[in-house]
Amino acid sequence: MDYKERYNLWKNANLEEHLRKQLDSYSDNDIKESFINDIEFGTGGLRGIRGPGSAKMNIYNVKKVTLGYANYLQKNFSNIKQISVVASYDNRHFSYEFALRACKVLEAKGIKTYIFSTLTPTPILSYAVSHLKCQGGIMLTASHNPKEYNGYKVYNEDGAQLNLTQSNSCIEEIEKITDIFNIEESSVKIEEVKPSLIEDYLKQVRKNKINNPTKKLKIVYSPLHGTGSTVIPQFLKSEGYNVFPLESQMTVDPDFSNTLSSNPEDPKSFIEAIKYAKTIDASLILLSDPDADRLGFAYKNKEGEYVLVTGNQTASIMVYYKLSELAKKNKKIRNGVVFTTNVTSDLVKVIAQSFDCKVVTTLTGFKNIADGIAKMKKNEKFVFGCEESYGSILNDFVRDKDSVQACYNLSEIACYLEDSNLDFESYLDQIYSVYGYYYEYTHNYVKPGLDGKEKIAAIMSYVRKNGISLENTKIIGFDDCTLDLHIDYVNNKESKLGLEWSNVLKYYFDNGLFVVLRPSGTEPKLKVYFSFPGKTLNQASDYVNECFKSINKIVERF
């Protein structure tokens, strides 16, 4: 079908009233954008702007994907008498309705379903899948995307998002569905998840405690109107931490009325929390995103200013604290494995290796880290897993990013540092002085609209063909993840990366710099990552900024 045929199919369907009104108001350009294709799975599952249309997030696409997922489960778990799935949801418009009606589609197919009685963080959904011995899970969330979005994450029996092989099998079943307007729903009442499951989850989080510092310092926490409000401040208070929730952002609000951004990677998301922290002289600010898988944090420095910490710095602090403090207690982890991604700072890798840990590098997307965990050898011990995009886990009872674990760990670290007359600034400087002053920068080129994908594809094609040239350094290696290929220019060798297919290019330079180009799997963006170990942080920052200017000249051609 072309977009006009798709549009006519929807126009003649018996749509739900709110979607009918929106469809009737569409301009010609709206019609083209909303029906140009079918909404696609990316690194984070299904995600898009809400509204009528084959390319939008709406109840018909949710039901279509759910029916395909049901058929996938029944095909792959035919030996199980009663297949089951657990579902949760965030604070966004229609998240609860989408989750509930997805459960009804599954029940109509004979699949037992559970749903949380209130909005619940993604990591708890991940835990629930394995805890309830389900074969799958569904999380209705658009994560950190703006309020116009919603999304649909699909989980496997380990509590991890479907890996590429599983996703492809599921997509095959989804693509077989042609009539999306007459998908059956069960009238059965969906069983709610028992509240005790959350306490069982928190018992596992408590196991991440390494030290028991004095807990005097003040901590400001905000869920950015999302799911973290149901768990994180209460949990930290129960553990003795001096937590001050930012009440204006504790409300469940799909319009994110009291924050300029729902993304803790965006400095604008911290504005209100910093204002509040100043009034109470707080030392630490913690912000979880709407589904509480990502965590951003800021600390008060010696000058009384609040410093935002990057995802790479956060991961480096957390892995160093865990490994160094366990070593002090003669609890060194034997056969330990640390998981990172090919766009995450090499600082995580060098820290882990200094404590004799094996480092596994995966593609971006926590599902790839989870897949790596599932493939660990029996004698190997999970230590840490992280992405640069503000996501980590300290314990693998959860197989997705977990801001609850991160909040608990960073609260402990902050109090431990205060007891030691240190702060995060001096702690980071200690790490840098040993391992190198790593500086990272990620630039997002937003390319919306009908020609956005074409522009991103053209940029990737040009760079893949012509490479990157930077002054005063030369390329010593190159990865093309579409070909599963690594080229070692120093030794003139080619080898397999051992990674699944992904449209990612990575360039290694002889001064330690790496540059990665990667189209986002969930947003209309081209992401370009830079990482460089300098002699000082300022020197590293200045150098990366110069490198960015060179890359920017390439992108500006398009």
Q: Annotate 211-228 with three-state secondary structure.
A: CCCCCCCEEEEECCCCHH
Range of the domain at 54: 3-198
Catalytic residue flag (residue 143): yes
pLDDT of residue 532: 96
Virtual torsion, Cα 139, 518, 403, 279, nearest 10 deg:
-120
DSSP label at 248?
Answer: G
Alpha-carbon distances, residue 42 vs 201, 317, 400, 502, 506 (angstroms): 28, 29, 16, 11, 20
Cα–Cα distance, 199 to 538 (Å, whole number): 45
Under 8 Å CB-to-CB from 306, ≥6 apart: which residues? 270, 274, 277, 278, 285, 298, 299, 300
Let me know if residue 91 belongs to a domain. yes
**Number of Cα atoms under 13 Å in the Cβ half of residue 297:** 31
Q: How many domains does the chain have?
A: 4
- The helix/strand/coil state of 197 is helix
Let me know if residue 473 belongs to a domain. yes
Q: Are 163 and 170 in contact (CB under 8 A)?
A: no
Q: CATH no. for residue 536?
A: 3.30.310.50
DSSP label at 230?
Answer: G
Task: Read off the tokens for 291.
Answer: 């589904």
Q: Which residues of the chain fall below pLDDT 70?
A: 42-44, 450, 522
**Are residues 319 and 283 both part of a single domain?**
no
**Are residues 21 and 133 both part of a single domain?**
yes
Count the residues in the chain.
558
Q: CATH no. for residue 125?
A: 3.40.120.10
Cα diameter, the chain = 70
Q: Among the options 54, 84, 143, 345, which is catalytic? A: 143
- The helix/strand/coil state of 151 is strand
- The helix/strand/coil state of 45 is strand
pTM score, whole prediction = 0.95
pLDDT of residue 472: 87
What is the residue-wise DSSP string for 282-345?
Answer: -SEEEEE-TTSS-EEEEEE-TTS-EEEE-HHHHHHHHHHHHHHHHHHTT-PPTTEEEEEETTS-
| Residue that terminates a domain, selected from 307, 337, 355 | 307
pLDDT of residue 332: 84
**Are residues 367 and 505 both part of a single domain?**
no
Q: What radius of gyration, in Å, describes the C-alpha atoms of the chain?
A: 23
**Are residues 100 and 148 both part of a single domain?**
yes
Let me know if residue 205 belongs to a domain. no
Let me know if residue 322 belongs to a domain. yes
**Are residues 248 and 109 both part of a single domain?**
no
| Residue that terminates a domain, selected from 307, 335, 350 | 307
Q: Are 284 and 273 in contact (CB under 8 A)?
A: no
| Residue that terminates a domain, selected from 307, 330, 349 | 307
Q: What angle do CA 183, 188, 192 make, to 5 degrees?
A: 110
**Are residues 7 and 153 both part of a single domain?**
yes
Residue ranges of E strands in 316-467: 336-341, 358-362, 381-387, 391-393, 437-446
Cα–Cα distance, 527 to 537 (Å, whole number): 23
Cα–Cα distance, 266 to 181 (Å, whole number): 38
Under 8 Å CB-to-CB from 72, ≥6 apart: which residues? 166, 169, 170, 172, 173
pLDDT digits (tens, 9 = 90+) for 332-353: 899 999 999 999 999 999 999 9
Let me know if residue 433 belongs to a domain. no
- The helix/strand/coil state of 19 is helix
DSSP label at 454?
Answer: H
